[in-house]
Structure 1
Amino acid sequence: MNLLIRKAKKHDRAAFQELMEQQGKAMYKVAKAILKNDEDAADAMQETALVCWEKIDTLKKDKYFQTWLMRILINNCNAIWRQRARMIAGGEVPEAAFSEEGYANAEWEQFLNCLDEKYRTVIVLYYVQGFKTREIAEILEINENTVRGRLVTARKKLEVQYRSADNIIRQAEFTEKRLFCMAERRI
């Protein structure tokens, strides 16, 4: 990867394209977690690639490429989020997002959606992307202890969400069994 970064710094298009392809999945997961919309996530990724291409020579240390890239992506996601909020406040109705992903992904997204953006971003960067708390602090430009605190809070909120979902499932199963037994008695 370091060789690709050095080539990209010399404006080698093929090397830069390969870098973006390598980082594509990671970028999508972060953008989708923040924006919750495939189209907005794609816009943020495209804008990030453009900014990175234009400013790759400002990257001081090659080993921080991924951190630098994610910081740009998060800034672009936040800009899109703010723009969308202004449009909604202006009276426009947002287009509903449609996604045909598997049940597990839908369930994961549902759990993530119960979190505020600041917690959701930290969870995705830590658990999905595998960044360390120090790296997340650099990306988000916040204190490392704040990152740890947000992880703890997010875990607690996810646990509460998980337990409440589990209780709802148990109650539904109990009601279903009770109705089945009542129906059998009538037969």
Structure 2
Amino acid sequence: MCSEEDVRLAQQGHKEAFVRVIKATEGTMYRVAKSILHSEEGVADAIQDTILKSYSSITSLREPRFFKTWIIRILINRCHQMLTSDRRFVPLGDWIESVEEAVSYESVELQDVLNRLKVDHRVIVTLYYLEDIPINDISEMLQIPAGTVKSRLSAARKQLVILLRSEGEGRISYDFH
């Protein structure tokens, strides 16, 4: 977790503090970008672009306590730009994953099932269940009402139950409620 003090120091130009806040959010950034882009190359590009943009504009962040929300919003915007501007980053498109790349999810099977969800649902499931981010924070990150987050989360849960049941006939057991 990044400290507000480190964010304040980063805003004042302390490079070491900026590195600390980036390191504190890098896992979340990776999982969010991966849930949208799938491609390791695309994920790396999106994260790098996000870090550069956040470094150059960190002084515009009004509330240091919202750093994580702010940087994830930048990342999500960059991922969506990449999806629309470069056709090689196609959601749910062709991708190959090794087991090592799946460590951010509980299992390869769960990752496969998550990747079948619509991008909007997959991002919300990743933020809520895998990153433990509260609904109101997700609402801010995605710039949508909290009610929309809840309804997408509900729809995603229903779809996940269907997918998980069909995937393994009871072999996989996850509680998304």
In structure 2, the partner of 1:99 is 98
Which deviates more, 97-106 or 47-56? 97-106
Normalising by the residue count of structure 2, what TM-score does the alignment of the two structures yield? 0.85
In structure 1, the partner of 2:31 is 29
Over aligned residue pairs, what C-alpha RMSD do you find? 2.1
Larger radius of gyration: 1
Name the CA shift for 1:44/1:142 in 2 (closer, same or farther; >3 Å). same
Query: 1:119, 1:151 within 8 Å by CA — same for their partners in 2?
Result: yes
Length, aligned pairs only: 164
Take 1:88 and 1:148, find their aligned partners in 2: how far apart are those partners?
A: 27
| Structure in which a larger fraction of residues adopt helix | 1
| Equivalent residues in 2 for 1:139-158, closer than 5 Å | 139-158=141-160
Take 1:15 and 1:37, find their aligned partners in 2: how far apart are those partners?
A: 29
In structure 2, the partner of 1:65 is 67
Unaligned stretches of 5+ in structure 2?
A: 172-177
SS at match of 2:74: helix
Take 1:36 and 1:88, find their aligned partners in 2: how far apart are those partners?
A: 8
Q: State the shift of 1:88 in Å.
A: 8.0
Q: State the shift of 1:61 in Å.
A: 0.6
In structure 1, the partner of 2:10 is 8
Query: 1:133, 1:148 within 8 Å by CA — same for their partners in 2?
Result: yes
In structure 1, the partner of 2:174 is none
SS at match of 1:114: coil
Unaligned stretches of 5+ in structure 1?
A: 170-187
Query: 1:38, 1:97 within 8 Å by CA — same for their partners in 2?
Result: no
Say whether 1:40 aligns with 2:10: no
Which deviates more, 152-161 or 100-109? 100-109
